[in-house]
Each structure stands twice: as structure tokens, then as C-alpha cells.
A = this chain, B = another copy of it.
């Protein structure tokens, strides 16, 4: 992490709160780990809030402290990119409930001096948004030039103008949805049951033993990962190709239970590497928040009602092979925005990569986001 603000400053703040959560609990203090890129201008009008996905974090354009990998959205955020620290003051905060420094099950409950574990209050997407608003208060940002996010980040981005209609001038919602469907909930429930079935989970009290439910969390990650990729993308990338081995350089089926197929090896790697960087309880809490997400439900059952007070412009982007949050979910948001009279631009982009497309090289997505943001500057 350089001291040049264009390249990201890692920060942490403990806000006294209390934050009243949707579940009724008052959370205090509220710890928020975040990064900023660029400089807030004199009238504090150039702030862009970036919202991360389920297993994302604040390291949007800086190296991940555990894996050393580049930030998760370096293709979108950086000098010369659509979200540009030369122009924008960029804020990305680890969401409430996560495990990269913000309040969550792995942080210390001040009342007990021990990690919260499963006594951490269950949170919602709107609670994440409220915590972000507290951070903006702390940073002296009254109004966002834009809030931008993909997947769960898009849920926050669409929730922002609904929750704080005066504080957002534009929202960019990518590969996302205004509610979790039965199938979305089903996949998350499988993941939670996989974690909870692991005896090492111990009802969430595994921190002190230092032996987390890695096997269960890896299975959860594997199941979820399938939903991030398209069938066609998997076929293109892996098909039925076999894993090369020292004794079988061309690959061959083993008539056993090793990872014969490349897709097996890939998925196992996804599972194993995930547990090094993510907390199992956070996985439970954040998936729960996503399953609870139903923006229409928060507004009397009519999605359009969520947008009646906002003055924000909206930009929605979906990908044609995304079967986790398919285009129809974005279109439902567009229809509601139309009904509410809110300005919205919408594009479905073509990609073979399914839901994950928003994290990959997607020049058209960059052009869309760039054009949309510049139109408001």
C-alpha cells in the first residue's frame, strides 16, 4: 500500500453508533475497514462508493493482504479506468458481517471480550448500506456522485437510493437483482448446511481452537462457484478434459475418486483456497443477508415504491449467460424504475462467462459505466 492516495489507502474506523439493525438490535461500536483512492474535492461532490460482492472486500484495486492477488476490480478502478482516482474520491468498505476488518462474527464483542460468533446479530443488505452511510458521515460526504456494485454489491447499490434517496446522484447496478429467488436461497442454504454439518463449526465457536470448519466451507464455496459460471463457459474452459498427472501426462481416468477431470481439480482448488481467506461464520451471515434481500418487500410489496423519492439516475447491466441473477431480474428493476419515473439506462451484455463476467475483462461494461458516470460530471 503506497502513500500516494491514487493507489489506495487502507483505513479503519470504529464508529460509536449505535447502528439500529433491521433485526432490532443496536450495534455499537461499528467497526469499518475501508480503502480510499483519490482525493475528495472541495465541495465533496466527487465521491464514488464501491460495494463488494459476497466474498469480496475493500481491496478493490490494491493487493489482497492474504493472497497477494491484485484487487478484485482493477479492470474498472484505477488511473485511466472508468472509476478513476484522478477524478473520483473512491471509497470501498468491507461490508458489515464480513471478515476483513469490519464488524462481523469474527470480531470481538465488547460485552464479552470474545469473538461474537453466532451471537453476532443477523444483518441485512440495508444494514450494510446504513453502516456505509455512517462511514460517509464520518468522511464528510453528504451525497455520493455514484454508488456502484456488482452481484451483492449491486444489491447495495440499488438499495442505496431506496434507503437514502437524498444522498445518491447515480447508481450503477451490475449483474444483480432486487430480491433473492427460491433457487438463489436454495444454493445458499446448501452452503450454510455444508458449513454447519462440519463438526469443526462447533456452533460457530471455533475461533479459540483455531481450527475452523474448512472442509464444510470449501464444499459451500464449490457449490456456489458453479453458479458463478455458465454451462457453456465451463464446457469451453474445461469440457471433459482430464487432469494431467506425472504418471499420465495426457490424462486418463483413474477408476477412482481422485480429481480425474480438470473441472474437479479446479473446483477443489476454489474450495481449498477460499478457506484461507474467508471466515465460515461470515459466509453464513452474508448469505443470510442476501437471502433476506427483497427490496420490494421492504417497500410494501411494490418495487417501484422503493424509488419514488429518489432523484438518482440508474444504470443497469446484466450478462446474457448469468443464470444466478439473469437479465430478467435486472429488467424487473428497470420496469420498476420506469414506473417510478426514475431515469435509467439498461444494457444486457453478451459474455460466455456467466455471473462472473462482471469481474472479468469486459470492455463494453467499462464503456457503459464510463459513459454513464461522465454524463453526470
Contact = CB atoms under 8 A, between A and B. Distances in A.
A355 interface: no
A263 B186 contact: yes
A9 interface: no
Contacts of A239: 181-182
Nearest to A262: B182
A222 to B, nearest CB: 5
A194 B182 contact: no
Interface in A243-275: 253, 255-257, 259, 261, 263-264, 267-268, 271
B190 A226 contact: yes
Contact of A186 (B190, B218, B234, B256): B234
B261 A185 contact: yes
A182 B263 contact: yes
Given A197-B215, A218-B197, A264 B234 contact: no
Interface residues of A, number: 56
A190 B222 contact: yes
A288 B190 CA distance: 21
Number of this chain's copies in the complex: 2
Given A194-B194, A257-B288, A187 B219 contact: no
A313 interface: no
A104 interface: no
B181 A223 contact: no
A190 B122 contact: no
A237 interface: yes
A192 interface: yes
A180 interface: yes
Contact of A182 (B238, B284, B291): B238
Given A189-B222, A189-B267, A222-B193, A23 B255 contact: yes
A219 B197 contact: yes
Contacts of A292: 253
A22 B253 CA distance: 11
A264 B222 contact: no
A165 interface: no
A112 interface: no
Nearest to A221: B190
A105 to B, nearest CB: 12
Given A190-B219, A190-B223, A194-B219, A263 B185 contact: yes
A77 B262 CA distance: 40
B235 A291 contact: no
Given A182-B240, A183-B234, A257-B288, A267 B215 contact: no
Interface string A97-138: 000000000000000000000100110000000000000000
B197 A216 contact: yes
B199 A263 contact: no
A231 interface: yes
B187 A226 contact: yes
A179 B240 contact: yes
A245 B256 CA distance: 45
A219 B193 contact: yes
Given A22-B255, A182-B235, A185-B264, 5 more contacts: A182-B234, A185-B261, A186-B222, A189-B267, A197-B215
21 contacts: A22-B255, A118-B257, A122-B256, A122-B257, A181-B231, A181-B235, A181-B240, A183-B226, A183-B231, A186-B222, A186-B263, A186-B264, A187-B226, A189-B222, A189-B267, A189-B268, A193-B222, A194-B219, A199-B199, A240-B294, A257-B284
